[in-house]
């Protein structure tokens, strides 16, 4: 009679010399015997064990636990994790690789060697590995009463052998608690149960062929339908059904291949059937009697239907439908639309994700379902994501980058908070992988991105990384290639300063706590920007605080611009608005240079206008003034030609009128070139460069001839009795008036990469380049002009002072103040145009920026009018306003001989009439 169930534990201890293998082999035998056989137990067991040194260490009686399952027995369960040296780093590899299997078996053997000597040892399994450094989570089953001291002794031995750190807990069964509390009591409800989980599959159904082709009405088409699921421990019952298919379903098969369970069925389609809505469905039922189905609609190509011919991997496809193929050696599918109207293939759209990234994404999705701690699972995912994104060449597709971003987005929604054990490694892996995704080599995958539902890929990336940074316990983290995070604890301060990638962020608030600032390179180019006028000109900088910001929060950002701001170009300080999904300047103000002040926290950047500010009607004013100037200069030159013989009777008049003619001629050519290049976009690059060279030379020559004239008048004012010969003056004037500007133009042209666009000239303006103070080819024009204008103003002041002195002597009996005022006014009016004094406003235009306000606009209008009408002013002052020229012109028009002009009268009038 069988009395009870006995569990016998037979032990054999074999100890060898130090340095050799030290092992204990245990045998576990479960017998149901009669009580009278106990005395002969050792002899009864010998036939089953060949070891001659066998003996029974201890004999215990145990009984089985009561359970719904007859196979369930009482056992002690021990769970824990052990941190092992980096030589076991291969255990972090995918569990399908050889390196993982070798590493896992090695560590498992080390652990079993120690723990298998515990009396009652049943099994030991390593559940998973995670980072920080290498941590193995394991579970051990003891089918015997476990002595705590045995566990302590063996754990000490194991940690010594492995040089590791062990954390362990003993557990029995899963228990859930529900607590009800108040100020006076706490009631805890506790329950435990056996958990039975039934799985439902994700079904992928396909047909072969995808689009059966009925070429004639008498054709019979063979059709195969496959339903694929991932291999699972769940045993499913599969049932097939059909709709509108006359033939029965046959050849029902089931097989496994490369981690996939495949169920297939075959049937026949008749092409003469009037029914076109064919359908086959597979239904999977698990052991909990739960079901999941998937159906395939059979889209047949009939004789008159348009279709796309088979091409490469793509089968013949009915027009208006999308052909679908599984990715090769990758997860996901490829799609290609056959256009409905003409039956022509569109380009392929691939969502193939490499296997490593797909595995990471799957782990991220299940990180919080209860299999392990969320934070430890997240750390594992970050480690794998870092490894998967480390080589940009392996993820350089839209689908791969999108999957990587989805990993970050998935974890950011799970509110992870890495514990102290995994925090440092986890944050480093997180920032490394996030930085990898912003690598410049992946720029096309970002810019090719289209909105995916509620947010673009760049938006989801920014939102995800911001959330994780805010949740994580980040301290001192090294700068990554494309991400830098700065953290400062400002619990006792109202002002905080962080710096990332050269951008300084000053936060002012009431005890903000921990302030985290993150800088993102390249991201500014990927975030949606529907404003065609403005483009990003800085990195994206995000700032968050530990405590909720107050209504008085102020953040000042001093950005580093990608490109210097050209003159008259507007800059906008913006923040990312998640609700409108666009950059917004609400609550932000530009305060000059690259500095912004905002009244809220967000992600910030600088947008710069693509074009400078427009001055209303400035072009029309310019063209009208230049047209008048050109006509006036032509008239002026015609008058000079007409009266030349009559007015150049003396050396002084010859010198003055020679300068007038050359000034007018240079200004005429320059104004014509200016009008010819008034629309830079409509002219060729060669013509634009040519007119820039001509304008540069002619305007400089004009000023140098003005310099010749001013020095001549200055010489006459200071040394009235010293005359200069025509020959010497012409040598001086030709060298100064033409050779000097020519040398300046040639040297500037060659020094700026041979007149290259963007260096010597700008195609957008067909003029010299100005990029900032003392930067740009424009200074080869501005500096000589500035010096000449300064000298000319000095000369004009000396001439005016001499005239005042002569007026005082000649007209002592008159009112001195009235005479002086008239003399000064007359001299200024006559000398200003030919001395180029109006160009002083040009320097003001360069110094003032249109973003400064109305004053800058007013100066631009004044400069445009005065310099545009310079030809008119020259006509009025040097020709019509000059008494000698006017009389000579009238005499010529009346065809009378010109009046005799004496040398003395000419000299006395030459200063007051010019």
839 or 527, which is more confident: 527
353 or 191, which is more confident: 353
Query: What is the spatial distance between Cα 625 and Cα 868, in angstroms, rounded to a whole number?
Result: 5
Query: What is the spatial distance between Cα 522 and Cα 539, in angstroms, rounded to a whole number?
Result: 7
Query: What is the spatial distance between Cα 482 and Cα 431, in angstroms, rounded to a whole number?
Result: 9
Query: What is the spatial distance between Cα 205 and Cα 240, in angstroms, rounded to a whole number?
Result: 12
Q: What is the pLDDT of residues 541-585, one digit of tens each?
A: 999 888 888 888 899 999 999 988 887 888 999 999 988 888 999
836, 706 contact by CB (below 8 A)? yes
Lowest mean pLDDT among 332-336, 796-800, 874-878: 796-800
> Which of 41-50, 152-161, 326-335, 366-375: highest mean pLDDT?
326-335
**Position 694 pLDDT exceeds 90:** yes
State the average pLDDT over residues 134-163.
Answer: 78
Instruction: Determine the Cα angle at 899 with ends 895 and 902, to 5°.
Output: 155
Q: What is the pLDDT of residues 12-26, one digit of tens each?
A: 332 333 333 444 444
Angle between helical axes of 816-835 and 685-718 (0-180°, round to 10) = 150
Burial class of 196 by CB neighbour count within 10 A (0 to 12, 13 to 18, 19+): exposed
Predicted local confidence at residue 890, as pLDDT: 85
> Which of 161-170, 294-303, 474-483: highest mean pLDDT?
294-303
Using the 8-state DSSP alphabet, how is residue 644 labeled?
Answer: H
**Position 57 pLDDT exceeds 50:** no
Nearest to 323 by CA among 353, 351, 345, 295: 345
Split at pLDDT 50, 70, 90, the class of 537 is very high
162, 183 contact by CB (below 8 A)? no
**pLDDT averaged over every residue in the chain:** 79
End-to-end CA distance of the chain: 144
Number of other CB atoms surrounding residue 872 within 10 Å:
19
702, 836 contact by CB (below 8 A)? yes
Q: What is the pLDDT of residues 216-239, one digit of tens each?
A: 888 889 999 999 998 887 889 999
Predicted local confidence at residue 831, as pLDDT: 64
Q: What is the pLDDT of residues 463-485, one digit of tens each?
A: 999 999 888 888 777 889 999 99
The pTM assigned to this predicted structure is 0.63
State the average pLDDT over residues 141-154.
Answer: 72
Query: What is the spatial distance between Cα 686 and Cα 707, in angstroms, rounded to a whole number?
Result: 32
Lowest mean pLDDT among 11-20, 530-539, 716-725, 843-852: 11-20
**Position 697 pLDDT exceeds 90:** yes
**Position 893 pLDDT exceeds 60:** yes
Number of other CB atoms surrounding residue 519 within 10 Å:
24
Lowest mean pLDDT among 273-282, 349-358, 793-802, 811-820: 811-820
State the average pLDDT over residues 61-88.
Answer: 58
Residue 536's alpha-carbon distances to 526, 562, 565, 764, in angstroms, are 10, 9, 12, 20
State the average pLDDT over residues 300-314.
Answer: 89
**Position 420 pLDDT exceeds 80:** no
Predicted local confidence at residue 696, as pLDDT: 94
Q: Left, alpha or beta for 120 (phi > 0: left; psi -120 to 50: alpha)?
A: left
**Position 56 pLDDT exceeds 90:** no
Q: What is the pLDDT of residues 589-648, one digit of tens each?
A: 998 888 999 999 999 999 998 887 788 888 888 889 999 999 999 999 999 888 888 888
């Amino acid at each position: 009679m069988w009395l009870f169930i006995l569990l016998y534990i037979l032990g054999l201890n074999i100890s060898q010399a130090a340095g050799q293998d030290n092992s204990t082999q245990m045998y576990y035998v479960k017998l149901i015997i009669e009580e009278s056989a106990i005395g002969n137990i050792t002899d009864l067991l010998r036939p089953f064990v060949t070891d001659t040194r066998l003996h029974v260490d201890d004999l215990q009686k145990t009984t089985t636990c009561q359970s719904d399952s007859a196979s369930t027995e009482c056992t002690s369960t021990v769970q824990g994790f052990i941190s092992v040296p980096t030589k076991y780093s291969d255990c972090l590899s995918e569990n399908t690789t050889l390196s993982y299997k070798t590493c896992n078996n090695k560590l498992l053997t080390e652990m079993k060697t120690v723990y298998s000597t515990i009396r009652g040892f049943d099994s030991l399994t390593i559940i998973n590995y995670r980072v920080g450094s290498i941590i193995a989570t394991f579970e051990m089953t003891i089918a015997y009463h476990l002595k705590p001291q045995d566990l302590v002794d063996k754990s000490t031995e194991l940690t010594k052998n492995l040089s590791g750190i062990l954390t362990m807990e003993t557990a029995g069964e899963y228990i859930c608690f529900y607590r009800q509390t108040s100020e006076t009591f706490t009631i805890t409800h506790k329950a435990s149960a056996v958990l039975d989980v039934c799985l439902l599959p994700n079904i992928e159904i396909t047909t072969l062929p995808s689009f059966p082709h009925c070429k004639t009405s008498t054709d019979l088409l063979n059709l195969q339908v496959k339903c694929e699921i991932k291999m699972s421990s769940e045993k499913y019952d599969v049932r097939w059904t059909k709709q509108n298919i006359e033939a029965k379903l046959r050849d029902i098969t089931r097989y496994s291949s490369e981690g996939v369970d495949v169920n297939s069925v075959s049937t026949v389609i008749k092409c003469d059937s009037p029914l076109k809505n064919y359908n086959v469905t597979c239904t999977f039922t698990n052991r909990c009697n739960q079901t999941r189905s998937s159906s395939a609609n059979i889209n047949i190509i009939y004789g008159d239907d348009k279709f796309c011919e088979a091409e490469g991997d793509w089968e013949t496809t009915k027009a208006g439908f999308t052909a679908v193929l599984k990715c090769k050696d990758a997860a996901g599918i490829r799609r290609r639309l056959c256009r409905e109207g003409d039956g022509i293939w569109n380009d392929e759209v691939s969502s193939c994700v490499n296997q490593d990234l797909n595995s990471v994404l799957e782990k991220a999705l299940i990180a919080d379902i209860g299999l392990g701690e969320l934070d430890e699972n997240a750390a594992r995912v970050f480690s794998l994501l870092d490894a998967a994104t480390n080589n940009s060449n392996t993820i350089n597709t839209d689908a791969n980058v999108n999957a990587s971003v989805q990993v970050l987005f998935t974890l950011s929604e799970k509110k992870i908070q890495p514990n102290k054990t995994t925090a440092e490694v986890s944050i480093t892996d997180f920032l490394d992988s996030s930085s990898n995704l912003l690598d410049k080599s992946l720029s096309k995958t970002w810019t090719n991105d289209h909105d995916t539902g509620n947010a673009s890929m760049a938006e989801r990336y920014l939102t995800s990384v911001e959330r994780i940074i805010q949740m994580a316990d980040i301290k001192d983290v090294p700068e990554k290639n494309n991400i830098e995070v700065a953290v400062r604890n400002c619990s006792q301060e109202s002002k905080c300063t962080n710096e990332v990638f050269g951008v300084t962020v000053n936060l002012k608030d009431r005890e903000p706590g921990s302030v985290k600032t993150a800088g993102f390179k390249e991201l500014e180019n990927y975030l949606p920007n529907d404003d065609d006028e403005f483009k990003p000109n800085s990195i994206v900088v995000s700032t968050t605080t530990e405590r909720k910001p107050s209504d008085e929060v102020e953040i000042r950002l001093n950005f580093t611009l990608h490109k210097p701001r050209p003159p008259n170009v507007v800059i906008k300080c913006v923040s990312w608005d998640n609700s409108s999904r666009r950059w917004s300047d609400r609550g932000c103000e530009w305060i000059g240079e690259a500095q912004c002040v905002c009244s809220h926290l967000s992600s910030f950047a600088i947008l710069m206008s693509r074009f400078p500010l427009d001055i209303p009607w400035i072009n029309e004013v310019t063209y009208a003034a230049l047209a008048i100037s050109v006509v006036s200069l032509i008239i002026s030159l015609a008058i000079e030609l007409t009266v030349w013989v009559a007015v150049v009777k003396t050396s002084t008049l010859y010198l003055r009128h020679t300068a007038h003619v050359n000034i007018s001629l240079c200004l005429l050519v320059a104004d014509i070139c200016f009008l010819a290049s008034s629309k830079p976009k409509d002219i060729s690059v060669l013509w634009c460069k040519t007119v820039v060279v001509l304008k540069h030379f002619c305007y400089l020559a004009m000023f140098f001839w003005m310099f010749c004239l001013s020095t001549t008048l200055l010489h006459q004012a200071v040394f009235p009795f010293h005359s200069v010969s025509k020959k010497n003056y012409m040598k001086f004037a030709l060298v100064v008036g033409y050779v000097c500007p020519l040398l300046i133009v040639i040297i500037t042209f060659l020094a700026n990469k041979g007149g290259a666009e963007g260096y010597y000239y700008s195609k957008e303006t067909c003029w010299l380049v100005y990029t900032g103070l003392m930067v740009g080819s424009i200074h080869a024009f501005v500096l000589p002009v500035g010096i000449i204008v300064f000298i000319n103003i000095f000369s004009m002041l000396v001439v005016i002072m001499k005239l005042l002195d002569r007026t005082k002597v000649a007209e002592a009996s008159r009112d001195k103040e009235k005479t002086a005022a008239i003399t000064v006014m007359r001299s200024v009016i006559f000398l200003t145009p030919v001395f180029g004094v109006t160009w002083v406003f040009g320097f003001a235009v360069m110094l003032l920026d249109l973003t400064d306000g109305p004053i800058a606009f007013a100066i631009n209008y004044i400069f445009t009018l005065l310099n545009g009408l310079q030809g008119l002013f020259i006509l009025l002052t040097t020709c019509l306003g000059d008494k000698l020229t006017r009389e000579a012109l009238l005499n010529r028009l009346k065809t009378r001989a010109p009046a005799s002009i004496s040398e003395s009268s000419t000299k006395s009038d030459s200063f007051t009439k010019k």
